[in-house]
Structure 1
Amino acid sequence: MTDLDAFPHPVYRDTVLAPLFEGVRAHYAAGMDAINRAHLVMLVETGILSRAEGAALAGALDAISAEVDPAALTYTGEHEDWFFLVEAQLRERLGDLGGALHTARSRNDMDHTLFKMALRPRVARVEAQVHDLAGTMLAKARAERDTLIVAYTHGQPAQPSTFGHYLAAATEVLLRDAARLSDAADGLEHSPMGAAAITTSGFPIDRARVAELLGFEGVLLNSYGCIASVDYVTGLYSAMKLPFVHLGRLVQDFAYWSAFEVGQLHLPRALVQISSIMPQKRNPVPIEHMRHLAAVTAGRCDMMVDTMRNTPFTDMNDSEGEVQQAGYAAFESGGRMLDLLAAVIAAARIDGARVRRNADAACVTITELADTLVRDEGLTFRAAHHVAAETARAVIAEGVPLGVGHAAFARAFEAQTGRATRLDAGAFAEATSPETFVARRDRPGGPAPAALDAAFDSYDETLARLRDRTRSRAARHAAADRARAAAFAALQET
């Protein structure tokens, strides 16, 4: 029979406390040690604890770190969680003084500080992967600046462009996503320590000093908000979701482009699997894996945001422990997708012959013929559009490329205008070539070489700034680790 007066109830132990303990062992033990050390330095520096008390506590913390291996422990329920295990170890070594470390702090401010610290390297890693992918896309876009593709709208062939222009568009989106992710990463850079349970403390604590020793940019100001406002969670996962939503659209294009009927995107053998029964099949299944990894990652981000929905504006387990750990899966699946997409983009090539055939079959350059008639023949665009449409219908019916359809064009022009065209067969072929189409779209943002080169330079600058922001945070965290170690060591100097 279960003793209902003894904590913990065995079912609560097994379903809640033991998994939480395992999570701390995997993710938080080192962060809790860092918080303990930074808080102790502050307590001594402010005179809340004496130097002798600080030295004794520092020595005990060092001994616990050396003697207690989290990986070797099995949860028994003797101590509620890792925090109380460490405190019990301190009291075992120091007696009542062991409880002094918890002066002027709470599990509330500690937990959210701990969760932010655990997220920081994960965010830095996914930022680096996003930046690397953007760099890969930009390099590929430069290399494929002049490589023609058929661009699609509404699932139908629309106009010629270049693979470089297409990848530049995707790079712009990814850089905007990276900026949003960087802003969300900045949301992790303010320390809740010193908020205590809700209202700070009556002791003369130095919140800024603890923030500095833990590598934060500063303190999160309002103490109630430190333990209640979980917008660092919702903001981060909202921002993290977007790259995978947007990159999933790119992946879907790759799936369509690589289909046999379209065939303008080709993946090498290293990224293609064969059928177990159909010898003719080339299955670019990495595209499917990217698609589902992007969807799973976005879904995991949604889960984190939705878990916070309609929760009370206070300290709560809904934003702690197991919930925080559940979010880490998004970094795992997302990181795999980003690395795979970078490899696919680097290896992919455009099948120029298929592009040319598809362009001819669908008359994708016909818009430039209409524009040419406005410029060179003085037609209104609507009249030019009519002539171009009639020309396209005729050459498609005849099954010939648009570039050799001058006769069909001349008939359509005379029927619309009542006069003969001044465009001879050579001028007509030039106006309807994909190269002419691209070259004449030289306005900012267009696919013409000069316009793309200018865009590439701007993307380089944006990417460099984003990389600098990530490196700056990492440098501050590393400097804080060194400063904390030195300040902690100084507590034990005689």
Structure 2
Amino acid sequence: MALIRINGIPTADCPTSLLPYRGSKRALQFACTCSLAQQKGNTEMETVQKKLWGGRFEQSVTPAVEKFSESVSFDRKLYKHDIQGSRAHATMLAQQGLISMEDMENIISGLNEIERRIESGEFLWRTDREDVHMNIEAELIDLVGDPAKKLHTARSRNDQVATDVRLWCRDSMDKIIHKIMDFQVALIKLADSYKDLIIPGYTHLQRAQPLLLPHLLLAYVEQLERDIGRLKDCQQRMNYCPLGSCALAGTGLPIDRFATASALGFIEPLRNSVDAVSDRDFLLEFLSVNSILAVHLSRIAEEWVLWASEEFGFLTPSDAVSTGSSIMPQKKNPDPMELVRGKSARVIGNLTTLLVLCKGLPHAYNRDLQEDKEPLFDSTETVIAMLEVSTEFAYNISFNEERIAKSLTAGHLDATTMADYLVYKGVPFRTSHEIVGKSVALALSKGCQLSELSIAELRSVNPAFDEDVYKYLGVQNAVGWFRSFGSTGKACVMEELRLWKDKVVRR
């Protein structure tokens, strides 16, 4: 016999005859379990695969069904929250006199040992025990005996998994929020390093108006702050406890659902047992928030990928966050941000998967909901990775001020400010818009900037122009005239930057 490890975790003693097996790791794990049982005969096979729910069954499930149905290969991520919920449940059962204090102590001691074994890599995850819940409960029975058989009193896997997933999501949201904050700090530091840098702003990917670079970077920060708000809103709505709802109808036993909800940090128990076990709207909302966040990150990535190109040349990533080409030695690619842009598709796809999964399910619990875990885990892990690499990228880029300055002469970015000048002179805006349009056409015909047109040339377009018009022309002057709240004016942007720096310090 040989001990087989799947992803570093011991799974089963396997006959050495199977060691040259060429299938997947998951299939090998299953084959080992089945082969071991078959070698011991049919009686032993039923012993190996005996289910905690198998009292009415006379036959074991077939290997194909076993393999197809198991979820422990991915839902064991919930082990910590499953144990956390079981501790709270055992404590409540003892407080309500449904089990003795001694039984509770034995159960909690056994759960603590199982948690230690899992975290040290000693725990044997078995596919014949189906999922994380049955693996832990069966191991607990092996450890402490009959007291462990009392743990599932007034509890079903239906409310158990709904509780575990809510606990997991709540913790994961905290992680994502902290990662967003880290990215915000990187963006704020970047903005603080380039306080006076003017860049061309774009609409329709066409030159539009001049912007201070910090104004654009802080736009990213504002969007990310709304993502934090959405996560906190979602977290608040999901923070209600399903535990004690049992399979779908609750229980006739005198449990205290408010006690377990409080022990687990929930606001209160969910009020309807059918709703508690059957709806995954909290996951749909979480994955929706992740998708919006992923879209924000993808848009930032797209902008930075464009700006790193030779055509723009506005920013340069350091070698530490760039890759090269296998064939073109001159290439330096901003691949991390291209992957951020690409991975947003996975996050959006996970939301779509879950929406389709849930759309046709009758109430209450259906086994289809086992399939909610992998999209949930992948969405969360992908978003965290996207945030981490975006933060790393932000700390490893520099903006090419000389190249940006040269780009500001194209596109007549001061045209709108020129129109505002005419408004100050009493010209209706629609008229001033037309006048400036003709002035731009004149400048284009002469191959010059608006600021390079003489006063005589400007007055040939309209007599409202005077010598003071030049105070409004050129990107430096144009930016100086912005003064509305939230605009790109220097005073507004510096105040915004100061407020964000203060907010970061207070966190």
Q: Under TM normalisation by the shorter chain, which class is it?
A: 0.7 to 0.9
The one-letter code matched in structure 2 to 1:444 is F
Paired residue for 1:9? 62
Gap change, CA 1:184 and 1:14, over 3 Å in 2: same
Secondary structure of 2:360's aligned partner: coil
Q: For 1:330 and 1:225, how far apart are their aligned partners in 2? A: 24
Q: Figure out how many residues of one structure are paired with residues of the other and give that number.
A: 453
Contact 1:248 1:295 in 2 (8 A): no
- 1:257 aligned residue: 307
Q: Counterparts of 1:169 and 1:83 in 2: how far apart (Å)?
A: 45
**Contact 1:91–1:98, Cα closer than 8 Å, also in 2:** yes
Higher normalized helix content (fraction of residues): 1
Relative to structure 2, which stretch is displaced further, 187-196 or 381-390?
381-390
Offset at 1:91? 5.1
Find the aligned partners of 2:191 and 2:329 in 1 and give their Cα distance: 34
Which residue in 2 is equivalent to 1:365? 414
CA apart distance, 1:150: 0.2
Q: CA deviation at 1:37?
A: 2.0
Cα distance, 1:76 vs. partner?
5.9
Question: Structure 1 vs Structure 2: percent identity of aligned residues?
Answer: 26
Displacement of 1:262: 2.6
User: Aligned partners of 2:360 and 2:344: how far apart in 1?
Assistant: 27
Q: Is this contact kept in 1: 2:314–2:400, CA < 8 A?
A: yes
Equivalent residue for 2:462, pick from 413, 416, 420: 416
Q: Is 1:54 matched with 2:54? A: no
Question: Can you list the C-alpha shifts for 1:382-405, whole angstroms capped at 9, x where unaligned?
Answer: 343333223322333333333322
Structure 2 residue 485 is matched with structure 1 residue 444: yes
Does the 8 A contact of 2:192 with 2:214 survive in 1?
A: yes
Decide which of 202, 226, 230 is 1:180's aligned counterpart: 230
Q: Which of 247, 256, 266 pairs up with 1:216?
A: 266
Partner of 1:453: 494
For residues 400 and 156 of structure 1, the distance between their equivalents in structure 2, rounded to whole angstroms, comes to 19
Question: 1:309 and 1:370 mapped to 2: Cα distance?
Answer: 53
Alpha-carbon distance in 1 for matches of 2:138, 2:320: 56
Q: Which consecutive residues of structure 1, in runs of 5 or more, have no partner in the other structure? A: 468-494
Q: Which moved more, 1:229-238 or 1:26-35?
A: 26-35
Relative contact order, CA 8 A, sep 6+: which one is greater?
1
Structure 1 pair 197–215 and aligned structure 2 pair: CA distance change class (3 A): same
SS for the counterpart of 2:238 is coil
Distance 1:86 1:30 in 2: 10
Q: Secondary structure at the match of 2:395?
A: helix
Q: Does 1:400 align with 2:448?
A: yes
SS of residue in 2 equivalent to 1:201: coil
Question: 5 Å matches for 1:86-485?
Answer: 86-89=136-139, 97-278=147-328, 280-320=330-370, 322-376=371-425, 378-406=426-454, 410-417=456-463, 421-423=465-467, 427-459=468-500
Offset, 1:361? 2.0
| Mapped contact 2:283–2:376 kept (Cα < 8 A) | no
Instruction: From the superposition, tell whether residues 287 and 398 of structure 1 become closer, same or farther in structure 2 (CA, over 3 Å).
Output: farther
TM-score, L = length of structure 2: 0.80
TM-score scaled to structure 1, two decimals?
A: 0.82
Contact residue 361 and residue 399 of structure 1 kept, 8 A: no
Match of residue 479 from structure 1: none
Which amino acid in 1 is paired with 2:72?
F
Structure 2 unaligned segments of length 5 or more: list them: 1-37, 47-56
For 2:104, the aligned partner's letter is: G
- 3-state SS of 1:161 partner: strand
- Cα pair 1:387 1:412 within 8 Å, conserved: no
From the superposition, tell whether residues 227 and 461 of structure 1 become closer, same or farther in structure 2 (CA, over 3 Å): farther
Residue type of the alignment partner of 1:22: S
The residue identity in structure 2 corresponding to 1:179 is G
**Cα distance in 1 between the residues matched to 2:504 and 2:285:** 22
The alignment yields a C-alpha RMSD, in angstroms, of 3.0
Sort the Cα spacing of 1:175 and 1:95 in 2 relative to 1 into closer, same or farther, 3 A. closer
CA contact (8 A) 2:199 2:211 kept: yes
